[in-house]
Amino acid sequence: MARKASPARLVIALSVAAVLAVFLLYTSIAGGGNPSIAPSALQGRTGDVQLAGRVVGPVSGDAHSGGLRFRLEDIGGTARSRVAVRYTGSVPDLFKAGRHIVIDGRLRNGVFVAEPGSMITKCPSKYAPKQSGDSV
């Protein structure tokens, strides 16, 4: 029995449209995410950002009272890029001076105040130093 145009095609097309509508719905409610920047780019920025950098000591304070204080500098950058950070919340195991971390928060009065619990440290296996005398 011949059909003019299969209704199934129409339904599939509508389904695809529904899926796309879900995407559009999300972007209209939630907007975009946080920009991920290096400490040297933090100067003058307001609003929530994600900082990605290297921890520079001395590390002082207590993350569960008063805040953990340390500085963050650009990965592969200089001392000029350093930013003071105050962090509260859970501190990941791998955290220490020299680690690369990612942290959310915003700049307030010259100090980057972190979103509690937002710190993520990177697995250190990438930091194997290249030894001199390697032969390929």
Partner 1 sequence: MPELGRAALVVTLGLAVYALLAGAAAARLGRRRLAQSAQNALIAAFFTTAIASVVLVAALLRHDFSFTYVARTTSEALPTPYTISAFWGGQEGSLLLWLLVLTGFGAAAVRLNRRWARDLIVWVVPVFAAVATFFSFLVVAVASPFVTQAAPPDGAGMTPSLQNPYMLAHPPLLYLGYVGLTVPFAFALGALLSGRLDERWLIATRRWTLFAWTALGIGQLLGAHWAYVEVGWGGYYAWDPVENAALMPWLVATAFLHSVMIQEKRGMLRVWNVLLVILAFSLSLFGTFLTRSGVVNSIHSFTQSSIGPWFLAFIGLTVAVSLALVFWRLPQLRSPTKLESPISREAAFLYNNLLLLALCLAILWGVVYPMLSEAIRGEAVVLGRSYYDFFLRAFGLPLLLLMGIGPLIAWRRASLRSLATTFRWPTLVGLGAGVVLLVLGAGSSLPGLVAYTFSAFVFATIVMEFVRGTRARKALGAASWPGAFSSLMARNRRRYGGYVVHASIVLLAIGVAGSSAFDSVAEAKLSQGQSLAISGYTLVYKSLDERQSANATEIRATLGVSRESDDLGTLEAGKNAYTIEEQVSNEVGIRSDKLTGEDLFVIAEQIYPDGSVIFRVFVKPLVNLIWLAGLVFLLGSLVTLWPDRREQRRLVARAGEVGLPATR
Which amino acid makes up residue 136?
Answer: V
User: Smallest distance from the beta carbon of 105 to partner 1, in angstroms?
Assistant: 13
Binding span for partner 1 by CB under 8 A among 80-88, 93-101, 105-113: 93-101
Name the helix (H) or strand (E) containing 102: strand 100-108
Smallest CA-to-CA distance from 69 within 37, 32, 112, 28 is with 112
Query: Of these, 28, 43, 52, 79, which contacts partner 1 (CB under 8 A)?
Result: 52
* Of 62, 66, 97, 108, the one binding partner 1 by CB under 8 A: 62
Per-residue string for binding with partner 1, 97-136, x by CB under 8 A? -----x-----------------xxxxxxx-x--x-xxxx
Mark 7-46 with x for binding to partner 1 (rule: CB under 8 A) and - for no binding.
xxxxxx--xx--x--xx--x---x-xxxxxx---------
d(CA 4, CA 37): 56
* Euclidean distance between CA atoms 96 and 53, whole angstroms: 12
Backbone angles phi, psi at 106, to 5 degrees: -145, 160
Burial of 55 (0-12, 13-18, 19+ CB in 10 A): buried
* Binding interface with partner 1 (CB under 8 A): 6-12, 15-16, 19, 22-23, 26, 30, 32-37, 50, 52, 62-65, 90-94, 96, 102, 120-126, 128, 131, 133-136
